[in-house]
Structure 1
């Protein structure tokens, strides 16, 4: 069975994007690693590497949610309090709240999540869903 190995995210300005991504990814257990071409974040065994790569042409962003391409990346956490904590941490790092933390009973009876977007239009979801997809 195949598994997701890495996720590359194109941004206009890698250092500026890192300033927004780093606090969130660090809180999720990722470690930042540098090389000459991009910025990589590594986590735990079995979790994909996340890469921040510079756009080939400057000024081509931001990504527009709902257009063909990126939708969002969802991170499952251990509690509703952790959703709230990460949401606040992302806001402090300059992310914009798309949806404040709340329940989503249309997904499952225990689904609780927030949605955030950074300056390049990259959207993440932080969720707690203890009952799974039952």
Structure 2
């Protein structure tokens, strides 16, 4: 049996703020809306049939107990892109983990809080996504 991960569904506190966040920070776009925008499907451009976020109105703010690394992860094409996200998040007041380098397979990353309180990691140098070629040191071994 082979299962493929196709979507993650999240309750959000504020749909408009959440859609704006994932558009600005992640380059995602709305690909489907239901129930007067109480449910939005979002995807990365070019990956609309591979992996999506389903955002649903009705969530409570996420509370994290520190240290808590529960997060959604996005790979970036360079360290500079991670730094750009961190700068934007710092300016917006939502930076939770300043850019840092951790040992393989973690790489270089920063963390940002979305409007519902979910932690979102932006990384470079992990063995998956953009930059994987530079970091591939046999994670599958």
Given the two structures, how large is their TM-score scaled by the length of structure 2?
0.72
Q: Moved runs in structure 1, 4+ residues, more than 6 A?
A: none
Distance change (3 Å), C-alpha of 1:112 and 1:47: farther
**Structure 1 gap segments, 5+ residues each:** none
**Residues 83-102 of structure 1 mapped to structure 2, 5 A cutoff:** 83-92=82-91, 94=92, 96-102=94-100
Gaps of 5+ in 2: 126-133
Shift of 1:14: 0.7
Q: What do you get for the CA RMSD once the two structures are aligned? A: 2.6
| TM-score, reference length from structure 1 | 0.75
Distance 1:54 1:133 in 2: 41
Aligned counterparts of 2:95 and 2:6: Cα–Cα separation in 1: 28
* Structure 2 Cα separation of the partners of residues 114 and 95 of structure 1: 14
Report the secondary structure of 1:119's partner residue: coil
Deviations 1:37-84 (A, max 9, x none): 3112122346411121111xxxx62111249xx921111122101111
Match of 2:113 among 113, 117, 129: 117
